[in-house]
Chains A and B, each alone.
Chain A
Amino acid sequence: MSANTSTGNGSTNGAAPLIEVRDVEKHFGSVIALAGVSMEVHAGEVMCLLGDNGAGKSTLIKTLAGVHKPTKGEFLVEGEPVDFNSPRDALDQGIATVYQDLAMIPLMSITRNFFMGREPRVGWGPFKRIDMKYADRVAQEEMLRIGIDVRDPGQAVGTLSGGERQCVAIARAVFFGAKVLILDEPTSALGVRQTSMVLKYINQVRQKGLGVIFITHNVRHAFAVGDRFTVLNRGQTLGLKSKDEVSMDELQNLMAGGQELQELSEELGGTV
């Protein structure tokens, strides 16, 4: 997988970012999960959201996805302030979230998963039914486009590998007109080949002009496809870097709070 990919479409200047949050805070009772986070993602770029466990990554993406309402701060979509009440609202604005393990139902067919919740229908009145022919055809075409040659779109998703499942979930979001994709640790449970398959597909999605928010705690994966990196730590934005101004090691250190990891690395005589 080539680490060097096209950087944005230069869209960073000019058009308003697809999503922008400024000093967003989220409190759960007395717990401050987000204490002033700012980030933005533009069309045709991959923004990597990095952070250790408990840094506030999940809370941030759930806020972007409409699951949580921010306690304070601004939330803009294409320059317009928004106020989401449910994930449906976010979806309607073109913000689609692909959760790591909550995307596909293994016992259901690829077609049924692909169109779950948005089934194409034909017929009239009470006799409305799913247009299975069309659904099967589209599912198969879209799978081929990703490079997964399914023999039969009626086969269960459980027969696909983990990487393939992530790709189907992403393809589904793209097919249904997402402008921004939020990918919640899509590679964390995958092997090397599976990971490269997903990363390759993320790159493809970017070239289509979508904005991607890629959540991970693997710096190597982030560096492979990322254009810019936002590092979260303890509910705050620790750094916002673009690819040409930061190295992999620096990112790693930023993410872990630096110090301890450095020491551990020396102790073990290698890199962590």
Chain B
Amino acid sequence: MTTTTMTAGGDERLKQTPFITRLMRRPELGALAGLILIIIFFSFAASGKMFSLAGVVTFMSPASQLGILAIGAALLMIGGEFDLSVGSMVAFSGLIFGVALAVVGLPPILAIIATLIVAAAFGALNGQIVLKTGLPSFIVTLAFLFILRGMTLVGLKWATGGSTQLRGIKDLIEGDPIAGLFRGDAFTGLFAWMAEQGWIETFKSGKPKVEGIPVEVLWFLAIAALATWVLLRTRVGNWIFASGGDAGAARNSGVPVNRVKTALFMTTACCAALVAILTVLDAGSTDARRGFQKEFEAIIAAVIGGCLLTGGYGSAVGAFFGAVIFGMVAIGLTYTNIDQDWYLVFLGMMLLGAVLFNNVIRRRVTGER
């Protein structure tokens, strides 16, 4: 066989991949299309306030809390595993954080670090059990869904002397610069200035209606960007896809599959802990029902974002869009005359639609041979 003499980049005889084909190959395509549809729907059905600055901030807040969980869930799903315990982990981390602040009396920075360490430890435990026993992560983390929720209830009652709510955290963190990274609004100066210039809506007093961007939105954006970069551009990202795509083939090629999966479980748990810290600081209290059923919403957002249930395929940007869709619909319905309980119907239909769509896409990507 004649060996083709190739000069670097000498591929003028290779066709440029058509734009549509390249677009179809993006896992987040479905989520983006869904987002556009939802925006079109609400621009007709909802009052104009929804897409004002105040309206956007209103739906981006819940979207961010869910989105941080969804990005963790998406990474883990691409790596071929599930974590059903993230919702309970939010409540449990809230307990750890609340107790560290209010009962132990740690300064906020140490309380935050302690919370993240405890969450990571439970994530690692989840991962080790899954990897060592070979049981499906579905069942192992389902067990932790109950274990962590139960421990939160018991722990809160122990810490408060019988209540399932721990209050009075606000006073402990007032004025703390580290806690400021996790609560309130950012860019308040900029927004005040923009209000002065008359660029954004203001109250009669001259104060802007939106005082700044909630920090959770910034966390959400930063985590989505970081996760995307890691997945698409780093070695670890390649290992995540490989571990989820075919653990055996990945191992044969020298990918440390077990380390990758354990790290992913820890990341997912830390995402839950971050959400717990954000919500506890925001509300000034923690209670046992925090994060209830969030694990399902996070997984649905990841699936809407193009993650395959079988692993090895998906995107963090997709999960980002998925979470925004969630926030938009949950909040958007209040701007319409539609009964809000349609939300649940929508949730189920969205999941079903996304799974069907993902199947078609997968067939396209692999050429189905």
Residues of A within 8 A of B (CB): 87-88, 91, 97, 99, 102-108, 112, 115-119, 121, 128-130, 132, 137, 140-141, 144-145, 147, 149-152, 154-156, 158-162, 200, 204
Contact = CB atoms under 8 A, between A and B. Distances in A.
Interface in B157-212: none
Nearest to B252: A102
Given A99-B252, A119-B235, A130-B238, A106 B17 contact: no
A64 B344 CA distance: 57
B369 interface: yes
A95 to B, nearest CB: 13
Contacts of A161: 369
A108 B242 contact: yes
7 contacts: A105-B246, A107-B241, A107-B245, A130-B233, A137-B8, A156-B367, A159-B369
A209 to B, nearest CB: 15
Interface residues of B, number: 39
A149 B241 contact: no
A14 to B, nearest CB: 28
B254 A88 contact: yes
A107 B313 contact: yes
Contacts of A150: 14
Given A108-B312, A140-B11, A158 B367 contact: yes
B289 interface: no
B253 interface: yes
Given A107-B245, A144-B4, A204-B1, A130 B234 contact: yes
Given A91-B254, A107-B313, A102 B249 contact: yes
A137 B252 contact: no
A24 B295 CA distance: 53
B18 to A, nearest CB: 10
Nearest to B368: A158
B117 interface: no
Contacts of B254: 87-88, 91, 116-118
Nearest to B235: A119
A121 B236 CA distance: 11
Given A154-B25, A156-B365, 12 more contacts: A87-B252, A107-B362, A108-B241, A108-B245, A116-B238, A117-B255, A119-B238, A130-B238, A154-B17, A158-B366, A159-B367, A161-B369
Contacts of B242: 105, 108, 112, 116-117
Nearest to A138: B8
A105 B1 contact: no
Interface in B344-369: 362, 365-369
Contact of B245 (A88, A105, A159): A105
Contacts of B11: 140
B238 A103 contact: no
Contacts of B6: 141, 144-145
Contacts of A129: 229, 233-234
A15 to B, nearest CB: 26
A183 to B, nearest CB: 13
A204 to B, nearest CB: 6
A103 B245 CA distance: 12
A107 B312 contact: yes
Contacts of B22: 154
Contacts of A151: 14-15, 17
A65 B125 CA distance: 32
Contacts of A154: 17, 22, 25
B75 to A, nearest CB: 16
A147 B15 CA distance: 17
Given A104-B249, A115-B238, A158-B366, A149 B8 contact: no
B9 interface: yes
A128 B233 CA distance: 9
Interface string B220-259: 0000000001000111011101100110111011110000
A155 B242 CA distance: 15
B255 A106 contact: no
A207 B234 CA distance: 36
Contact of A107 (B9, B234, B366): B366
Nearest to B233: A129
A161 B312 CA distance: 20
Contacts of A121: 235
B3 interface: yes
Given A105-B245, A144-B4, A97 B235 contact: no
A161 B367 CA distance: 10
A198 to B, nearest CB: 13
Contacts of A107: 241, 245, 308, 312-313, 362, 365-366
Given A105-B312, A129-B234, A130-B233, A116 B253 contact: yes
